[in-house]
Amino acid sequence: MKKILLTGFVPFLDNPINPTEEIVQGLHKKSVNGWEVVGEVLPVDFHVTGDHLVELIHKVQPSAIISLGLAAGRNRITPERIAINCNDGPVDNQGYKPDGEKIISDGPDGYFSSLPIKKMVKELENNGIPAKISNTAGAYLCNHVMYRALHEIEQQKLDIFSGFIHIPASHKLALTNNIPSFAQKDLQRAIEICIGCLD
CB of 29 to a second copy, least distance (A): 26
CB nearer to a second copy: pick between 48 and 175 = 175
Task: With both helix axes pointing from N to C terminus, report the angle between 19-27 and 184-196 in degrees, rounded to the nearest 10.
Answer: 60
Bridge partner list, 101: 87
Per CB under 8 A, the list member of 72, 82, 160, 195 interacting with a second copy is 82
Give the binding range for a second copy (CB under 8 A) out of 16-24, 45-53, 62-70, 170-178: 170-178
**Which one from 21, 22, 80, 152 is the annotated catalytic residue?**
80
CB nearer to a second copy: pick between 93 and 114 = 114
Give the binding range for a second copy (CB under 8 A) out of 8-16, 40-48, 56-64, 106-114: 106-114
Whether residue 21 contacts residue 71, with contact meaning beta carbons closer than 8 Å, is answered with no
**101 classed as catalytic:** no
Per CB under 8 A, the list member of 84, 103, 145, 195 interacting with a second copy is 84
5 φ, ψ to 5°?
-90, 115
Whether residue 49 contacts residue 147, with contact meaning beta carbons closer than 8 Å, is answered with no
Whether residue 3 contacts residue 63, with contact meaning beta carbons closer than 8 Å, is answered with yes
Asked if 100 is part of the footprint of a second copy (rule: CB under 8 A), the reply reads yes
Per CB under 8 A, the list member of 111, 146, 161, 163 interacting with a second copy is 111
> Judged by CB under 8 A, how many residues of this single chain contact a second copy?
39
**152 classed as catalytic:** no
Q: How far apart are CA 176 and CA 170, in angstroms?
A: 11
DSSP 22-65: HHHHHHTT-EETTEEEEEEEEP--TTTHHHHHHHHHHHH--SEE
Which residues are known to be catalytic? Answer: 80, 142, 166
